[in-house]
Structure 1
Amino acid sequence: MYGYGWLLWAAGLVVGAILLLPVAYLLIRSLEAGPAGWENLVQGRTLLTLARTLGLALAVTGASLVIAVPLAWLTVRTDVPLRRLWSILTPLPLVMPSYVGAYLMVSALGPRGLVQQLLEGPLGIQRLPPIYGFPGALITLTFLSYPYLLLSARATLLRLDPALEEAARNLGDSAWRVFWRVTLPLMRPGLGAGSLLVALYALRDFGAVAIMRYDTFTRVIYVQYRSFDRSQAALLALLLVAVTLVLVLLEFRIQRRAAYYQGVSGTARPPSLVHLGRWRWPAFLFCAGVTFFALVLPALVLVYWLVRGLLAGETVNDLGLATWNSLLASGLAALVTTLAALPVAILVVRRPGRLSQLLERLTYSAFALPGIVIALALVFFGANHAPWLYQTLPMLLLAYCILFIPQAVGSLRASLLQIHPSIEEAARSLGRGPLSVFATVTLPLLRPGLLAGMSLVFLTAMKELPATLLLAPIGFKTLAIAVWSSVSEAFFAAAAAPALFIVLASSLPMALNILREERDD
């Protein structure tokens, strides 16, 4: 496929043009702002809010690394009990909408939450410490975003040739020393891509920080949009895009000097599992603890609100059509977005240069923007230039592609970095054409990254709300819209049902993906 360079560049430039739509909209709106709007960008209040946002993003990324790296290593490389079960359960918190996750966290761990009610009788605890502010936002966003890192790290580990690790062990290194000196450095492309996604998720989130009463940059943008001062909101959004580009540049500079090829043989034989010995059960408790607080506890709170509401007489609407619409839109989004990300990832890895670097940075620029900014940009584009596309399923898929393409690009790039170019060159030297080499050599080796990218896009598209509300076809109700409608009207039982459906509907493809990875491994 690399022989068709013009085709790759044409596809990449089309993707880049689509990704420029939100930036073009912001530039048009920002030109309408007066001098006072530009002066607001350098006011102390704006800079303080930006510092708080960056601090939260850095803290969430660090906490996610602490959780995701051990989980990935334990579920891929060790004999931890119930290893396959943890492989399936630990990524699932990604499907929880942030506004629902934050509300459930407050309901369970708030000063007068469910945990306090359980402890009041036997221990006499009248009130738990407040969870609002930075601690609550940090905990909630960490539990909701660490799966970005986990899935990228797992995909990287599954592609690593275990020969280097086995050689280190044969030279007398312990399992712990092998992990720090050999495995962790080779995981760097996946960790870099996953960390960038976590940081951008924390930058753009609104639901969790709003419920936790922690002011961040996205809240200021939402307030400006609600006050119809869209020129000022556009300026603030452009500042967020600039911060995103800085983060992407830093991540690129950190990784650009390293090579991550798995080896010239191209084999992906399964490694021998590390025997944890006396650490098996502490590792088991770690996996179980993360699963309980990130997945089981929120699910139990959802079930509690569902049962409590039904007993109080609340009704739950039929969710069959909403479930089908969510699965259809999310499945198509995963396919379209991954296909759009493929030429970008190939150009970044196999054709490095200024243009390919710019293309990669463009893919990440939209991910840091709140969904409402992307949606309004496409509303502006559809109303003025493509009225036939407005409020159609293709327009919604276009929004999902712009929002979530960094997830697919990150996973694909990490996998491509581990495929040595000499493997493809050897196949071409044997007479294979470029397309044949790509289909028979590159694509099979790229499969873990493809599946990880599609899973990330599917799971996040299932819970996307602002873009779905503004761009979905008339009458196209999804589970995310059902959750939002019920929560806004304080019908918590009606909200709990579609939220549970989101988790259940997303669990099946995630489980199938993990099982396929385990079988291939």
Structure 2
Amino acid sequence: MSTDLSASGTQAGSTTTAGKGKRPRPPFGVSTVSVLAILTALFSLLPLGYVVYMTAATGWDTAVELIFRPRVAELLLNTILLMVITVPACLVLGVGGAWLVERTKLRGHRWWAVALAAPLAIPAFVNSYSWVSAVPSLAGIWSGVLIATLSYFPLVYIPAAATLGRLDPAIEQSAASLGLGPWAVFFRVVLPQLRIAMSGGALLVALHLLAEYGAFAMIRFDTFTTAIMVQFQSTFNGTAGNMLASVLVFLCLILLVVEVRSRGTARYARIGSGAQAKATRMPLGLYQVPAQLALLALTVLAFGVPVWFVLRWIVAGGLDVWAADEFIPALLQTLMYGAVGALVTTIVAFPMAYLAVRRPSWFSKMLELSNYITSSLPGIVVGLAFVTVSIRVLPGVYQTAGVLIAAYVLLFLPRALVNLRAGLAQAPKELDEAAQSLGKAPLVSFFRVTLRLSAPAAAGGAALVFLAIVNELTATLLLSPNGTRTLATEFWSKSSEIDYTGAAPYALLMILLSAPMTYLLFQQSKKVAGQ
């Protein structure tokens, strides 16, 4: 491909000479894209600024006393153990499932491809609600690991499967022809090609673990997020809550540094000439039955158990639990906030993703890092930051839909950013260079080449944001306009009162609403994979 483009460029005369070997110009100019990314980063630092300000107002002596105490050490140990066990478990399940579906002769692999993505349609707190219904004594670190792993492994599986589907199998075939066995090919050739998908998925899982409240509160497992919520709800001790949030931000910073370092600078876009070969699936032989049983067990635990107990509570409640005047407004408002929030978040994420992929530097990495820090904060901290700023600076916007959408953007921007970054990374900049060298304006080449190739990834990111908004709880409780009711807040209200039958319809509606978006995400991942 590159040879043909160079030949075409030579015929183009002076225009080609000027454009050859240069970076493609961004569609709106470097300064405009950079300014948009900077404004997004500054806006995303609003909750962090709130925490820093409250921490500074506390005073050094009080801050040290609140941070270095046994309770904080306990919460730190719980949180670290949760991440150390859950993130590798999600990587193993996600990458292993993707490899079985995309690279082996797994019977029914098309069905399993959808089944492994399906658990993403179930909110983590609904998963916890279902498991508590099954095992009322569920509590502690291993219960948290169980629920978190079953809830979040699709965040690794989906990008890993999409990347495997797009990888040129000729590389694997070449390695095999040199004498490498199947396992050696996987670990030495395939796994390194999954670096971006794995690091991005692992980061999303870790950030969810840091920010999750409902799932852990229901099983009485204490993390920094549940402790912050208790501080604000029961004692209204803002000082202690902000000190806990400062430790949480520090943990997130460590995660971000590790993810950036693990991502590396290698490129994974294929720009050579010729058609991509069809992947050769490895026969499973005697491992066919164990593989089928393992995937069946995973699907039953992650999807079957939650759905079964939700339906069981609905049957137990009868027709009385279906009150149209309650759940229909909640459904409509959830749809509205989810659609608008997903669209705005994806648009806001694009300039930063463009800089991160097309013009990588320490500056673009710092801009990207600012968004991940904010998303790691629990929803209640983000919500309280918006409450404080809106009341003191812009009292007219307090408890308006715009403020709630802004909070959603900050909370879930990484979901769109990770997908956009992966999509742009697999949209070779050489194609943009060729289009511009042939006389196409930067804006035209952007829409015809870059945007077209990255559109499936953008749609996948928007679907992830939609799912997150449908399931968001704490920020919605704090920032929603008076009279606003979403499926998540109504579910939490009833389940907190131990009204499991009353909460079941809202849980079912969240699952039914999330299922089509999960399937859309799966389909878009196949498009990214070129299938």
Quick check: TM above 0.5?
yes
The 2-side partners of 1:268 and 1:15 are apart by 38
Give 1:173 deviation, angstroms.
3.9
User: What CA deviation, in whole Å up to 9, does each residue of 1:243-292 have, x standing for no partner?
Assistant: 11111011111222433333445977763444434433332222222111
Q: Greater CA deviation, 360-369 or 321-330?
A: 321-330
Work out whether 1:203 is the aligned partner of 2:229: no
Q: Is the 8 A contact 1:315 1:493 kept in 2?
A: no
Aligned to 2:346: 338
User: Is there any run of 5+ residues in structure 2 with no aligned partner, and where?
Assistant: 1-24
Aligned to 1:65: 91
Shift in alpha-carbon separation, 1:172–1:446, aligned structure 2, 3 A: farther
Secondary structure of 1:90's aligned partner: helix
Structure 1 partner of 2:37: 12
Match of 1:182 among 163, 168, 189: 189
State the shift of 1:516 in Å.
Answer: 4.7
The amino acid that maps onto 2:26 is Y
2:511 matches 1:486: no
Instruction: Note if 1:150 corresponds to 2:157.
Output: yes
Alignment-derived partner of residue 431 in structure 1: 439
- Is structure 2 residue 415 aligned with structure 1 residue 391? no
Q: Which amino acid aligns with 1:37?
A: A
Which whole-Å CA distance do the structure 2 matches of 1:148 and 1:467 have between them? 22
- Provide structure 1 residue ranges, at least 5 long, that are not aligned to the other structure: 112-130
Q: CA deviation at 1:340?
A: 1.2
Q: How does 1:70-469 map to 2 (within 5 A)?
A: 70-110=96-136, 131-226=138-233, 227-265=235-273, 271-310=279-318, 316-318=323-325, 319-469=327-477
* Letter in structure 1 aligned against 2:308: L
Question: In the superposition, relative to structure 1, how do residues 414 and 266 fare at CA in structure 2: closer, same or farther (>3 Å)?
Answer: farther
2:72 is aligned to: 46
Displacement of 1:136 in angstroms is 0.4
Paired residues of 2:383 and 2:479 also in contact (CA < 8 A): yes
Q: Which amino acid aligns with 1:410?
A: V
Residue range with higher mean Cα deviation, 225-234 or 417-426: 417-426
- In 1, the alpha carbon distance for the partners of 2:466 and 2:115 equals 16
CA distance in 2, matches of 1:266, 1:321: 54
Q: 1:425 to 1:133 in 2, by over 3 A?
A: same
Amino acid at match of 2:88: G
Alpha-carbon contact 2:232-2:238 (below 8 Å) kept: yes
Deviates more, 1:192-201 or 1:238-247: 238-247
CA positional deviation for 1:293:
0.3
Q: How far apart in 2 are the matches of 1:10 and 1:348?
A: 14
CA RMSD of aligned residues (A): 2.3
| Structure 1 residues 454 and 437: CA distance shift in structure 2, 3 A | same
Structure 2 equivalent of residue 503 of structure 1:
511
Change (3 A) 1:232 1:196: same
CA contact (8 A) 1:92 1:503 kept: no
SS in structure 2 at match of 1:31 = helix
2:49 maps to: 24
- Report the CA distance shift for 1:273/1:327 in structure 2 as closer, same or farther (over 3 A): farther
Change (3 A) 1:43 1:451: same
Q: CA deviation at 1:153?
A: 1.6
Provide the C-alpha distance between the structure 1 equivalents of 2:139 and 2:477, rounded to a whole number of angstroms: 28
Name the TM-score, length of structure 1 as normaliser: 0.90
How far apart, in 1, do the equivalents of 2:240 and 2:177 lie?
62
Cα 1:404–1:67 shift into 2, 3 Å: same
Q: Distance in 2 between matches of 1:389 and 1:242?
A: 31
Q: How much has 1:314 moved relative to structure 2?
A: 5.0
**Greater mean deviation of Cα atoms: 3-12 or 172-181:** 172-181
CA distance in 2 between counterparts of 1:325 and 1:314 reads 20
1:280–1:333 Cα change, 3 Å:
farther
Asked whether the equivalents of residues 464 and 521 of structure 2 are also in contact (C-alpha less than 8 Å), the reply is: no
Is the CA contact 2:314–2:505 (under 8 Å) kept in the aligned structure 1?
yes
Change in Cα spacing, 1:161 to 1:324, as seen in structure 2 (3 Å) is: farther
Size of the alignment, in residue pairs? 501
1:173-222: per-residue Cα shift (whole Å, max 9, x none)? 44443322222110110100110111111112222222323222222212
Work out whether residues 349 and 417 of structure 1, in 8 Å CA contact, stay in contact via their aligned partners in 2. yes
Q: Between 81-90 and 131-140, report the one with greater CA deviation.
A: 81-90
Contact 1:316 1:493 in 2 (8 A): no
Aligned partner of 1:217: which letter?
A: F
Corresponding residue number in structure 2 for 1:123: none
**2:333 partner letter:** N
After superposition, the C-alpha distances for 1:396-439 in whole angstroms (9 at most, x for unaligned) are 11111100111111122223333333232222222222222222
Q: Is the 8 A contact 1:160 1:418 kept in 2?
A: no
TM-score (norm 2): 0.88
Q: Does structure 2 retain, via aligned residues, the 8 Å contact 1:159–1:418?
A: no
Partners of 2:356 and 2:368 within 8 A in 1:
yes
- Give the secondary structure class of the aligned counterpart of 1:224: helix
Cα 1:92–1:437, aligned 2, differ >3 Å: closer, same or farther? same
- Asked if the contact 1:159–1:262 (Cα under 8 Å) also holds between the matched residues in 2, the reply is no
Shift of 1:43: 2.5
